[in-house]
Amino acid sequence: MTLTIGLTGGIASGKSTVSAMMRELGLPVIDADEAARAVVRPGEDAYRQIVAAFGPGILQTNGEIDRAKLGAIVFNDEEERKKLNAIVHPAVRQKMLAEKEALVRSGAKTVVLDIPLLFESGLTSWVDKVLVVYVDDDIQLRRLMERNGFTEEEARARICAQWPLAEKMKRADAVINNNGTREETRRQLLAILKQWDALEK
């Protein structure tokens, strides 16, 4: 029986940091953000639907989607975001499920699904355990502004597009507090994975 862990949190709360640590520990991670980038490449079905829905103005000169432009539209307008989600999410789900099935068939002891919108998209039934990476609001805002070079307004618009982290924390099977150093985060992660018997012997 494969243990499926859903890794989630808020934007810039530290999911990628934790998922990189999980990979280092030998766990296979399927990343929803990565899948969401793959399914909108030129030539893909979702790409055509996005161009039809949002117009060619959201393309770069090389034909690829201009993610900054599309982000500015969808993180400032819920209706536009729903429109994009309705195009991208089904393709992301299909891709992630196929990857998960392949890992289960290959006999993986544990599979990690890194899904920022695990709760918002109602996907908790996909996983056996939910691991939430938590940070305080002010640290989340600061790290997001620093990482992406966003203004405070741009960063807040993205944070507001998701459930509050405190709500996610309440529904988690385990929480990593990522306010501190990466080393402190790694220690918490190891303790949880041991408790869940998630690591290969």
Ligand X SMILES: Nc1ncnc2c1ncn2[C@@H]1O[C@H](COP(=O)(O)OP(=O)(O)OP(=O)(O)O)[C@@H](O)[C@H]1O
Ligand Y SMILES: CC(C)(COP(=O)(O)OP(=O)(O)OC[C@H]1O[C@@H](n2cnc3c(N)ncnc32)[C@H](O)[C@@H]1O)[C@@H](O)C(=O)NCCC(=O)NCCS
Which spans of this chain sit near ligand X (rule: CB under 6 A)? 9, 11-17, 33, 116, 143, 147, 178, 181-182, 185
Q: Give 57's DSSP letter.
A: G
User: Which residues contact residue 108 at a Cβ distance below 8 angstroms, ignoring those fewer than 6 apart?
Assistant: 2, 28
Residue 32 contact, options ligand X, ligand Y, none, Cβ 5-8 Å cut-off depending on partner type: ligand Y
Q: How far is the CB of 132 from ligand X (least distance, A)?
A: 11
Q: Is 16 annotated as a binding residue?
A: yes
Between residues 171 and 187, which has the closer beta carbon with respect to ligand Y? 171
Q: How far is the CB of 197 from ligand Y (least distance, A)?
A: 28
Using CB under 6 A as the criterion, which residues of the chain lie in contact with ligand Y when the complex forms?
11, 32-33, 36, 67, 70-71, 74, 81, 84-85, 88, 92, 116-117, 158, 161-162
Q: Hey, is 50 helix, strand or coil?
A: helix
Orientation angle between helical segments 182-195 and 15-24, nearest 10 degrees? 60
Q: How many CB atoms lie within 10 A of CB 102?
A: 13
Q: Is 13 annotated as a binding residue?
A: yes
Between residues 9 and 71, which has the closer beta carbon with respect to ligand X? 9
Q: Hey, is 29 helix, strand or coil?
A: strand
Q: How far is the CB of 84 from ligand Y (least distance, A)?
A: 5
Residue 186 contact, options ligand Y, ligand X, none, Cβ 5-8 Å cut-off depending on partner type: none
Q: Is 110 annotated as a binding residue?
A: no
Q: Is 168 annotated as a binding residue?
A: no
Taking the C-alpha atoms of residue 15 and residue 21, their distance in angstroms, rounded to an integer, is 10
Taking the C-alpha atoms of residue 26 and residue 190, their distance in angstroms, rounded to an integer, is 12
Q: How far is the CB of 57 from ligand X (least distance, A)?
A: 25
Q: Is 151 annotated as a binding residue?
A: no
Burial class (CB in 10 A: 0-12, 13-18, 19+), 144: buried
Task: Detail the residues annotated as belonging to a binding site.
Answer: 12-17
Task: Detail the residues annotated as belonging to a binding site for ATP.
Answer: 12-17
